[in-house]
Amino acid sequence: MSAMTPPEPGATPPAPPVPLASLLARDELGLRLRAGSPEVSLHWVHTSEMADPYPYLLGGELLMTAGVQLTDPARYVERVVEAGAAALGFGVTPVYDTVPPALVEACAARGLPLIEVPPQTPFTAVARALWRLMAEARLHELRRVSEAQQSLATAAARPAPVPAVLGALASRLGGRAVLFGPDGTESAAAGREIPPEAGRALADLATVLGPRPGGPASASGEGGGLRLAAYALGGGEGLTLGVAAERRAPSDHTIAGVAVVLLSLLTAPHRAADVTARDTALVQLLLGASPAEAVQVLGPGPWTVVHASGGDGTPFAAAALAAALGTPLLDPGEGVPPGAAPPGAAPPPNGRPRPVRLLRAASVGDPAQPGGGGGVRPPPLAGALAAADAQAARALRRAEATRTPLVRHRTAGVAGLVDPDEAAAYARTLLAPLSPALNETLRTWLSLHGSWDRTAVAMDIHRNTVRQRIARTAALLDRDLDDPDVRMELWFALRSA
């Protein structure tokens, strides 16, 4: 018998995984760790009494069993590990009075955490406790980010805003925040003192960013026993924010991103008259003005329309896009989704900006006005501007569907857009979260046009197992596998890999 243990009725399974140690700390469950480390992350609970549970596992589970068909503990543990389960829970009674020593030995040898579940604890109680811990973790992170945003915004309104923002950030992260100048020297700092070794490592990390086109917008590392991170500001002055803390929580990156936006605004130079005119035209487009009206403000072309979204988790990522394109851009975070690159803008570099994932699309304009670089012919007229805006929007959707950092509108067809080496590297990164079993199931399922029954027959597994594995794949990749664009991209990735 094998069954998934769902969350409580009406509840949506929260996303954050929970350390096994948190589950072991629930005294009412009476769980006991018999082998392995308690620091593994649990995504859900699965109950199975199959002799070989491998076909029914998706990876990341706490597998619960009473050992009804446990005949070869070593082989059983081997199959559980191959399936990617996070831990094994063994229920004492009615089959066994104690956890079999051979099972403990096998789990210790393979590094699989093994917990003993006492007779008075139902497996459903363990599942319910896990879902509640996940919900608590999600709520904690959301509350922490909200409180940090309010604190940083209040600091930015003080008479000395830059030191105030650094102080608020250091307090929220429990460490130190440093603002580095373009030459890597420390211009302002707040928070507790850190070891000299950590300070030097943080300064070195800041120099990795810099204002050069195509450079990364953030970087992370370790030094002096601390977790380090550096973020490039978007004000165009080559400033960098560095943070050092003992721990790194999932929400730290988001909180630091809020501070980067505020510091970028506080340290940005005054805008030139031509930039102001450009921004005025873009705001008019956003408010519903016709392309002809916007063109009157923009002046003669050629112009290249750019749509951007996403980023590396921080709202200042538009600065990295501007650096990659070699031209100033209006930050979409200011409320204007489209941006315009002025005449003479350099084409984007061959290397994509890492880890920023911003998306660019350039339109094809009037054939009589070639202009532009890199094969792009920006639109010079109002009608072409409207067409270019639509083309940029489509290219942005394609880039989001394929998770491609930089996509340009072209008419050469799909074959001309894909480099085999880049496609293979991208495919390996995209499919990295999948176990061999999930990879094989996804390939078979896509090749059979999403048929559950034909996939089950082809792989000699139950159709419910196919559904579970495809659902697990969608969760790991954070993709909607009902979307034909996503299916196509995954199929090409599987072929490229």
| Residue 479, token pair as written in the block | 């993709």
| Residue 402, token pair as written in the block | 């394929």
The sign one gets for the Cα dihedral 17, 19, 20, 23 is: negative
User: Do 217 and 312 touch, CB atoms closer than 8 A?
Assistant: yes
Q: What is the CATH architecture of 418-496?
A: Orthogonal Bundle (1.10)
Homologous superfamily of 2-134: HprK N-terminal domain-like (3.40.1390.20)
Mean pLDDT across the chain, nearest whole number? 75
**pLDDT exceeds 60 at position 332:** no
* pLDDT (0 to 100) of residue 341: 42
User: Do 303 and 343 touch, CB atoms closer than 8 A?
Assistant: yes
Q: How far is CA 192 from CA 169, 186, 210, 226, in A?
A: 12, 15, 25, 12
Helix, strand and coil in the chain, % to nearest 5: 45, 15, 40
Which residues neighbour 34 within 8 Å (Cβ) at sequence distance 6 or greater?
90, 99, 104, 107, 114, 115, 116
**pLDDT tens sequence across 473-487:** 999 998 888 888 888
Residue 497: pLDDT band (50, 70, 90) is confident
Question: Which one is the CATH code of 158-267: 3.40.190.80, 3.20.20.80, 3.30.450.30, 3.40.50.300?
Answer: 3.30.450.30
Going from N- to C-terminal start, the domains of the chain cover 2-134, 158-267, 273-416, 418-496
User: Do 332 and 308 touch, CB atoms closer than 8 A?
Assistant: yes
Q: 231 or 249, which is more confident? A: 231
Write out the DSSP string of 41-60.
EE-EEEEE--S--GGG--SS
DSSP state of 184: S
Q: Is 413 helix (H, G, I), strand (E, B) or coil?
A: coil
Q: 384 or 224, which is more confident? A: 224
Q: Dihedral, CA atoms, 251, 257, 258, 260, nearest 10 degrees?
A: 150
Residue 345: pLDDT band (50, 70, 90) is very low
Q: 382 or 459, which is more confident? A: 459
Query: Cα–Cα distance between 312 and 316 in angstroms, integer?
Result: 9
User: Do 376 and 369 touch, CB atoms closer than 8 A?
Assistant: no
| Residue 294, token pair as written in the block | 């916007």
Residue 380: pLDDT band (50, 70, 90) is very low
Query: Cα–Cα distance between 117 and 30 in angstroms, integer?
Result: 7
**pLDDT tens sequence across 351-365:** 333 222 223 333 323
- Where are the alpha helices (H) located in 299-380, listed in sequence order? 318-325
Q: 409 or 233, which is more confident? A: 233
Query: Cα–Cα distance between 489 and 430 in angstroms, integer?
Result: 10
**pLDDT exceeds 80 at position 23:** yes
Query: Cα–Cα distance between 497 and 452 in angstroms, integer?
Result: 24
* pLDDT (0 to 100) of residue 290: 62
User: Which of 165-169, 250-254, 303-307 is predicted least confidently?
Assistant: 303-307
**pLDDT exceeds 70 at position 90:** yes
Q: What is the mean pLDDT of residues 230-235?
A: 82
